[in-house]
Structure 1
Amino acid sequence: MTQNLVIIGAGMATGRALEHLLDAEPDAYNVTLFNAEPRGNYNRIMLSPVLSGDKAYDEIVTHTAEWYDENGVTCRFGEKVAGIDRTAKTVTAANGDVVPYDKLLLGTGSNPFMIPLPGHDLEGVIAYRDLEDTERMMTMVEGQKVVVIGGGLLGLEAAAGMAARGVDVTVVHLMGHLMERQLDEAAGYLLRKALIDKGITVKCSANSKEILGKDGHVTGLLLEDGTELPCDLLVMAVGIRPNTALAAEAGLAVGKGIHVDDQMVTSDADILAVGECVEHNGALFGLVAPLYEQAKVVAQTLLGQEAAFVQKEVSTKLKVTGCDLFSAGDFADGPGREDIVFRDPARGVYKRLVLEENRVKGAVFYGDTADSNWFFGLIKDGTDVAEMRETLIFGPAFQGGTPLDPMAAVAALPDDAEICGCNGISKGTIVAAIQDGATDLAAVRTVTKASGSCGTCTGLVEQVLGATLGDDFVIPAAQSMCGCTDLAHEEVRRLIKSKGLKSMPAVWQELGWKTTCGCHVCRPALNFYLLADWPVEYQDDPQSRFINERKHANIQKDGTFSVVPRIWGGITNPDELRAIADAADKYHVPTVKFTGGQRIDLLGVKGEDLPHIWADLNKAGLVSGHAYSKGLRTVKTCVGTDHCRFGTQDSTGLGIRLEKMLWGSWTPHKLKLAVSGCPRNCAEATCKDIGVVCVDSGYQVSIGGAAGMDVKETELLCQVATEDETMEVVAAVTQLYRENAKYLDRIYKWMNKVGLDWIKDQIDDPDTRRALADRFELSQSIYRKDPWAEHARDKAETYQPLANLTLEAAE
């Protein structure tokens, strides 16, 4: 007779236990799954990429509604469990429903610890734990301020994700260096430096005293030294506590967590527990690897099989804000211990090994973690390293006297070398899966789970594939655009051109879309590809654009909007300033801010006032600054020869020409330019998507800069002698980017894929360059328009439209 299994909590640990159970004996239990969150299992490790905008929530869902349905799991999501009756063997839902169980699995997880500072209950004080917290942080926009208390992994991921969105972020950490549990002081220093370089303010050895507020909402954080840090949102990321309340109320044995034995059974033989809520032999668990090992044991116990959870040495391999980190073992100083340290400041690489009696006791790596699995194996196995002492720090490729290439180094790893730390998957397990037919990354991931959690081991798994399959290994295909198609972005772009597809229905029909009308992921991309490739034939579809592009303004956390007029090259005049001031007064704009791109931002405009404020600004000759668009944002300039004694060319004039040429254009992602009048680079041209540096002999045009999550210096594209040549080069490279890049790739990401040499070849050829520039001008002649003027004309009763709004009229 099939038994009833009730699971409380749809987290990663219970999700993995359920997978193991259903794979082994799908009919062993009737499963009912409760979850307080209104959703099923998703990969919490990947909330950070969702926050930064690199992934959508749908991409991190591990168990869909269809999966639960196909496996016969009764889902009660958004329902809390009010109590457990161990005598009657039932659980009672918050709505009063009573559900019987034969076996009960507790996966109640943990609760974020909130420091009981004065003001901790103010609106705008949140933790970083789940999707709701992530979505709250995603409402923060450029110009707003956030304070993050906690310099551990979660705190830094929260800070980095919001900083990538242009938010002004300050991290406050009590200890002397960041991530002190995982990193030593030197590595912590490098991490702090990298964060500061990305625009994040970091305050270590800082003690919080009070959370400040006004009208019930947070306004700042007061430190013990009297420093006051203003903020619109305060995030606490200072640790977690096992959620034991339900277990304790049911009379189960509870200490720091819910007590479990080696079989993951609690003090009640019919109740098991797994994950962050448990305490096993005095230890608590927060990393994924031991939780997944517990999940395997849970499934075996439920099926009556012999199993035992054994605590193992664990390593921490992380990626914070683009910085690779690794730590394992005990790296504290002590008697009889010695350090081997490698530093390469130019590459930002730091490696430290702690040795005792010729055995590696601890390791800390920053910036280069490629060999971390090999070093972790030395720590776990207690390997005597005396014979490799002189070359040890250089990793496995340098042992034996002759450097090996990375593939050979992976081939030399023993079968028990751990490749995927999250899931505890060894090289031998992956090799066995490959030999059984898993010949690509997706198949290996499906069979073994390797690279399926945080993803940092993906490259290593591919190297194992290459070492095992040799010439039969095929480089994996690009990821599909979305769930509607198996085609990658690059394939869709190529087929749109080769097949002459000039509408979204044509794409859906001819390319075999799985849905009839696309989804929120593919529609914006298709709309851009069609617009860029067929500017004459294709009609832009506003409903396939993101919300800010549809609204022609940036939505704020309170539902109001940000309005940014275009200020050509950062040059304005008293009449424009008066118009902006008058609009701010008339529409009760609460915040007027100068942006980093030499513009003025009107923050807090009500939605119903948008057409009217646009109309008033249009009357003064101001047009939309497209601060919301996947297109040109700004062209930042310095004063050049007009005023500066160091200026070599008219950088301001050129910047204005460029902005008037590029404004209103749609590109795969936002586009930022700058023109500096001399190599002193006051306009910061060398960290923009396209930068121009004026020199005595002409103009140096560079591309591929970035100053967000990734900080990158531009690379020289070409040098030309005249302004007109510069205009043509910029138009051509912009069009080349429009016609070839994946949607939502900045120029530097596109450049990394196609290579700077290929881009140079197109731009250096005069006929190709002119043709690209001509196609850009054609597209602009069709699509360059001021959306504020159009919508104000349609919606604002008092608006008198400007006659024939042109570039000249807008001047």
Structure 2
Amino acid sequence: MQPIVIIGSGMAGYTLAREFRKLNTEQELVMICADDAVNYAKPTLSNALVGNKAPEQIGLGDAEKMAAQLNLRIEKHTWVKQIDAENRELHIENQEQTTIQPYSKLILAVGANPIRLAISGDASDDIHVVNSLTDYRTFRENLSKSADKRVVILGAGLIGCEFANDLQNTGHQATVIDLAPQPLGRLLPSHVAEAFKQNLEETGIHFVLGTTVEKVSKHAEQGYIVTLANGQNLVADVVLSAIGLQPNIGLAKDAEIETSRGVVTNTLMETNQADIYAIGDCAEVNGMLLPYVMPLMQQARALAKTLNGQSTSVHYPAMPVAVKTPAAPLTVLPAPLDVDVSWETEELDDGMIAKAFDSSATLRGFVLLGPTAGKQRLTLTKLVPDLIPAAI
């Protein structure tokens, strides 16, 4: 029998391999990845400074350690050039040669790439994105050289706010720019967003909202000049872009695998091509794209069983997201996009509880801001219907 092949060595790929090995120690597993295949948890990157973690301390194991631990063959620094779904083969390429890798089952765990804005200026290529440990290493190197520690962050979403909090708490001056009128625009109702923003501003973080970056230029004495669409200029030592991610769907599209925002799968994580599955940030499961850790874990457990011969649909319970902003502790359970909700808010001494109810008065989402509100997480989560019910 041909091996099961996983493309990608991020959290999705390694979590699936680990879950599968709990069920099956014998089946040959192959992992193919374009980078060095170091295993690490990407969510730790946005608060590693506060945790006093150097980039070399973030990795949980190199390719050799992971291959031994999970009994799998890892082809690192290797690119999949083509998926031949009809013949169940991959055309792969590394520095030395191009070869064919057959598979019995194929899993796309190819993640997502940072969205990049079209920004002019002679320093546009110096804008950092942090989507991998390699990216983070470069970011930290440049950060350590910055004399005045001024960091401009593009994007006031989840990652942008987490990085801002991490940087501000470690002696840097963070300024966050976003076209939206509020931080976490897609996750929070405006009244909660305003309170969240005020909490972060009290630590010294600056927000410049309702505008975008047009140009980043080098300056001999001041590092970089960041020119905004509203005419304002900011001085920065380091510029970081955190405006969101786009699932990697190019390889799938070329293989005539159905894609939309991500690689389209059913609740078995199956694509429209036989024996090809998708998992993690690239997977659009039942119309839902949820680039968070908890959905990934649910996917990995279910798919591991399916790959081992026990067909298992993924179960999505209500899965709140904890935002790593200690200056404004925040837990968010977004309401489904296709559900109209009305908000009810309870003000607390140290924050607020905002609940989203649908037309039948069912709780469909919530936002917990502050330490006291956070204690309601489990109680409220139990009241929210599953996104994808458990199979009976």
Shorter-chain TM-score range: 0.7 to 0.9
Q: Give secondary structure in 2 for the equivalent of 1:193.
A: helix
Name the CA distance, whole Å, in 1 between partners of 2:105 and 2:36: 24
Give the structure 1 partner of residue 263 of structure 2: 258
- 1:551-570 deviation per Cα after TM superposition (whole angstroms, max 9, x unaligned): xxxxxxxxxxxxxxxxxxxx
> CA separation of 1:39/1:204 partners in 2, compared to 1, >3 Å: closer, same or farther?
same
Give the structure 2 partner of residue 81 of structure 1: 80
Name the CA distance, whole Å, in 2 between partners of 1:286 and 1:61: 21
Which stretches in structure 1 are left out of the alignment for 5+ residues? 382-423, 425-811
Name the CA distance, whole Å, in 2 between partners of 1:359 and 1:281: 22
Aligned-pair identity (%):
25
Name the CA distance, whole Å, in 2 between partners of 1:298 and 1:252: 18
Q: Would the aligned equivalents of 2:353 and 2:367 in 1 still touch at CA under 8 Å?
A: yes
Give the structure 2 partner of residue 197 of structure 1: 202
- Does 2:178 correspond to 1:173? yes
Q: Would the aligned equivalents of 2:149 and 2:172 in 1 still touch at CA under 8 Å?
A: yes
Q: 1:155 aligns with which of 140, 152, 160?
A: 160
TM-score normalised to the size of structure 1?
A: 0.43
**Letter of the structure 1 residue corresponding to residue 246 of structure 2:** R
- Does 2:186 correspond to 1:184? no
Q: Give secondary structure in 2 for the equivalent of 1:342.
A: strand
Q: Would the aligned equivalents of 1:261 and 1:280 in 2 still touch at CA under 8 Å?
A: yes
Q: Displacement, 1:51?
A: 3.6
**Letter of the structure 1 residue corresponding to residue 224 of structure 2:** T
Structure 1 or 2: more strand by fraction:
2
Name the CA distance, whole Å, in 2 between partners of 1:336 and 1:202: 28
- Does 2:95 correspond to 1:118? no
Name the CA distance, whole Å, in 2 between partners of 1:295 and 1:25: 14
> CA separation of 1:142/1:379 partners in 2, compared to 1, >3 Å: closer, same or farther?
farther
Q: 1:365 aligns with which of 354, 364, 368?
A: 368
> Could you tell which deviates more after superposition, 68-77 or 352-361?
352-361
TM-score normalised to the size of structure 2?
A: 0.86
Q: Displacement, 1:234?
A: 1.6
Name the CA distance, whole Å, in 2 between partners of 1:89 and 1:120: 46
> Could you tell which deviates more after superposition, 366-375 or 126-135?
126-135
Q: Give secondary structure in 2 for the equivalent of 1:54.
A: coil
Structure 1 or 2: more helix by fraction:
1
**Letter of the structure 1 residue corresponding to residue 18 of structure 2:** E
> CA separation of 1:193/1:136 partners in 2, compared to 1, >3 Å: closer, same or farther?
farther
Larger radius of gyration: 1
Q: Would the aligned equivalents of 1:138 and 1:162 in 2 still touch at CA under 8 Å?
A: no
Name the CA distance, whole Å, in 2 between partners of 1:87 and 1:151: 44
- Does 2:9 correspond to 1:10? yes
Name the CA distance, whole Å, in 2 between partners of 1:98 and 1:181: 43
Name the CA distance, whole Å, in 2 between partners of 1:186 and 1:59: 39
- Does 2:44 correspond to 1:46? yes
Q: Give secondary structure in 2 for the equivalent of 1:251.
A: coil
Name the CA distance, whole Å, in 2 between partners of 1:197 and 1:324: 14
Q: 2:283 aligns with which of 278, 286, 299?
A: 278
Q: Give secondary structure in 1 for the equivalent of 2:272.
A: coil
Q: Give secondary structure in 2 for the equivalent of 1:279.
A: strand
Q: Displacement, 1:227?
A: 0.2
Q: Displacement, 1:174?
A: 1.5
**Letter of the structure 2 residue corresponding to residue 99 of structure 1:** Q
Q: Would the aligned equivalents of 2:82 and 2:255 in 1 still touch at CA under 8 Å?
A: yes
Which stretches in structure 2 are left out of the alignment for 5+ residues? none
Q: Would the aligned equivalents of 1:102 and 1:270 in 2 still touch at CA under 8 Å?
A: yes
Q: Displacement, 1:63?
A: 4.9
Give the structure 2 partner of residue 37 of structure 1: 35
Name the CA distance, whole Å, in 2 between partners of 1:278 and 1:262: 11
Name the CA distance, whole Å, in 2 between partners of 1:290 and 1:335: 23
How large is the Cα RMSD of the aligned pairs? 2.9
Q: Displacement, 1:274?
A: 0.9
Q: Give secondary structure in 1 for the equivalent of 2:355.
A: strand
Q: Displacement, 1:249?
A: 1.8
Greater relative contact order (Cα < 8 A, sep 6+): 2
Q: Displacement, 1:289?
A: 1.3
> CA separation of 1:358/1:113 partners in 2, compared to 1, >3 Å: closer, same or farther?
closer
**Letter of the structure 1 residue corresponding to residue 52 of structure 2:** D
Q: 2:106 aligns with which of 78, 99, 104?
A: 104
Q: Would the aligned equivalents of 2:200 and 2:327 in 1 still touch at CA under 8 Å?
A: no
Q: Displacement, 1:357?
A: 5.4
**Letter of the structure 1 residue corresponding to residue 239 of structure 2:** L
Q: Give secondary structure in 1 for the equivalent of 2:324.
A: strand
**Letter of the structure 2 residue corresponding to residue 35 of structure 1:** C
**Letter of the structure 2 residue corresponding to residue 306 of structure 1:** S
> CA separation of 1:135/1:161 partners in 2, compared to 1, >3 Å: closer, same or farther?
farther
- 1:297-342 deviation per Cα after TM superposition (whole angstroms, max 9, x unaligned): 221221121211244443222221443102225499x999562422
